[in-house]
C-alpha cells in the first residue's frame, strides 16, 4: 500500500468481497487532453486538472500495469490528441516510459503535440519527507505541464 494515500483519500468501500478489473478506468472524462496515471498519482492528476481554465481534461487511471490496457490508452489518445503521463517512478525505464513508447509506436498519428512525462528524476528517493516531496510529481507541476501542452 502507498503511504502517500494514508489519511488523504476517503471514499466508499464496497461491502463484502469485490475485485478490481485489470482494465483502465476513466476517472474524469474530457476531450482536450488526457492525463494518464496509476496509483497515488491518479489523485495528484485529478487535483491538478480540476480547473484548467475551462479545458476539458480526461484522467485515465491505468489500475493495472501488467496487463497494460493498451486499448484504453490508445482510445484516449485518439479522443484527446494531447497526452501527459504522470509517474512517481524514475523517468528512465519505468511504466510511464512504456506507456509513452506504446503511444509512439501505435498512436503517433493521433497526436497533436509531444507526449509529456512528469516523473521523478533519475536519483535515489531520499528518506527525508521534505526532500521526497521535492522530487515526486506535484499537483503544481502537473498543472503547469498540462497548461503548457494545452497551448501547444
Per-domain residue ranges for the chain? 18-150
- Average pLDDT of adjacent 10-residue blocks, the chain of 152 residues: 65 84 96 97 96 95 97 99 97 96 98 97 90 93 98 93
C-alpha 152/C-alpha 137 separation (Å) is 21
Which pLDDT score, from 0 to 100, does residue 70 have?
A: 98
pLDDT, tens only, 34-55: 999 999 999 999 999 998 989 9
Which pLDDT score, from 0 to 100, does residue 10 have?
A: 75
**In what order do the strands lie in the sheet containing 57-61?**
25-28, 57-61, 33-37, 83-90, 116-120
Which pLDDT score, from 0 to 100, does residue 6 have?
A: 63
CA 24 to chain centre: 11
Report DSSP letters for the chain, one per residue: --GGGTTT------SS-----SS-EEEE--SSEEEEE-THHHHHHHHHTS-STT--EEEEE---TTTT-HHHHHHHHHHHS-EEEEEEEESTTSHHHHHHHHHHHHSGGG-SS--EEEEE-SSPPPSSHHHHHHHS--HHHHHHHHHHHHT-
DSSP structure class, residue 101: H
Q: Which of 25, 128, 135, 141 is nearest to 89 (CA)?
A: 135
CATH of domain 18-150: 3.40.50.920
Partners of 35 in beta bridges: 59, 84
Amino acid at each position: 500500500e502507498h503511504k502517500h494515500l494514508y489519511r488523504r483519500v476517503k471514499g466508499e468501500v464496497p461491502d463484502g468481497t469485490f475485485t478490481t478489473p485489470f482494465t483502465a478506468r476513466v476517472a474524469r472524462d474530457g476531450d482536450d487532453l488526457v492525463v494518464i496515471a496509476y496509483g497515488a498519482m491518479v489523485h495528484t492528476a485529478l487535483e491538478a486538472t480540476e480547473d484548467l481554465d475551462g479545458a476539458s481534461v480526461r484522467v485515465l487511471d491505468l489500475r493495472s500495469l501488467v496487463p497494460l490496457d493498451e486499448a484504453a490508452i490508445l482510445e484516449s489518445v485518439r479522443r484527446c490528441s494531447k497526452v501527459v503521463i504522470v509517474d512517481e517512478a524514475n523517468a528512465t525505464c519505468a511504466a510511464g516510459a512504456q506507456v509513452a513508447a506504446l503511444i509512439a509506436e501505435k498512436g503517433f498519428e493521433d497526436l497533436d503535440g509531444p507526449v509529456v512525462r512528469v516523473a521523478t528524476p533519475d536519483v535515489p528517493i531520499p528518506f527525508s519527507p521534505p526532500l521526497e516531496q521535492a522530487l515526486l510529481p506535484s499537483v503544481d507541476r502537473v498543472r503547469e505541464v498540462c497548461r503548457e501542452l494545452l497551448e501547444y
